[in-house]
């Protein structure tokens, strides 16, 4: 009588495959750059700042003090009459993570009482050639391009 005790069972093979997958995902995330997520996070922060500025402009009754979104190479600021506006518990300017650069078709976007601004584009770039872009419509609507 011959016994078939050689090899691995299906459960053992599946368990080892799952463990190798988990270990490789953990190691890959440590070795790969998180620059892609920094660029996307910065893109979302800028869109949020543009939306916040539009909402603030439509909320204010004083048309003589427009709301501006001002860009530098590594920060975005929402201001009224040159003073930063408080957003929740934080004040602008919002600093981008290290290695993130902002390039805008306009150094600032001015929002009127109806939430309109000049159309333009904003590019966010990081190390390794990772980039994202934002398009701002004349209606004030901003979205990832």
Per the CB < 8 A criterion, the answer to whether 104 and 96 are in contact is no
Instruction: Kindly write down the DSSP assignment for every residue of 51-107, as one continuous string.
Output: HHHHHHHHH-S-TTS-EEEEE-SSEEEEEETTEEPEETTEESPEEPPTT-EEEESSS
pLDDT of residue 30: 62
Looking up tokens 């953990």 gives 26
Question: What's the predicted TM-score (pTM) here?
Answer: 0.74
pLDDT of residue 93: 86
Token code pair at residue 65? 């003090």
pLDDT of residue 27: 77
pLDDT of residue 28: 74
| Residue 101 burial (CB count, 10 A) | 16
Q: From first to last of its 145 residues, what are the pLDDT tens digits of the chain?
A: 566 667 889 999 999 999 999 998 887 766 555 678 889 999 999 999 999 999 999 988 666 788 899 999 899 999 988 888 887 777 788 899 888 999 999 889 999 989 999 999 999 998 878 899 999 999 999 999 8
With a CB cutoff of 8 Å and minimum separation 6, the contacts of 51 are 142
């Amino acid at each position: 009588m011959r016994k078939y005790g050689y090899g691995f069972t299906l459960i053992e093979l599946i368990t080892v495959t799952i463990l190798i997958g988990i270990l490789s995902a953990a190691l890959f995330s440590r070795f790969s750059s998180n620059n892609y997520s920094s660029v996307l996070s910065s893109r979302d922060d800028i869109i949020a700042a543009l939306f916040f500025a539009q909402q603030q402009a439509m909320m204010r009754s004083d048309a003589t003090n427009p709301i501006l979104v001002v860009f530098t190479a590594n920060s975005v600021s929402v201001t009224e009459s040159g003073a930063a506006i408080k957003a929740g518990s934080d004040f602008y300017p919002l600093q981008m993570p290290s290695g993130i650069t902002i390039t805008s078709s306009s150094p600032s976007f001015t929002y009127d009482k109806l939430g309109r601004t000049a159309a333009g584009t904003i590019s966010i770039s990081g190390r390794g050639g990772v980039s994202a872009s934002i398009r701002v419509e004349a209606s004030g609507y901003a979205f990832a391009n």
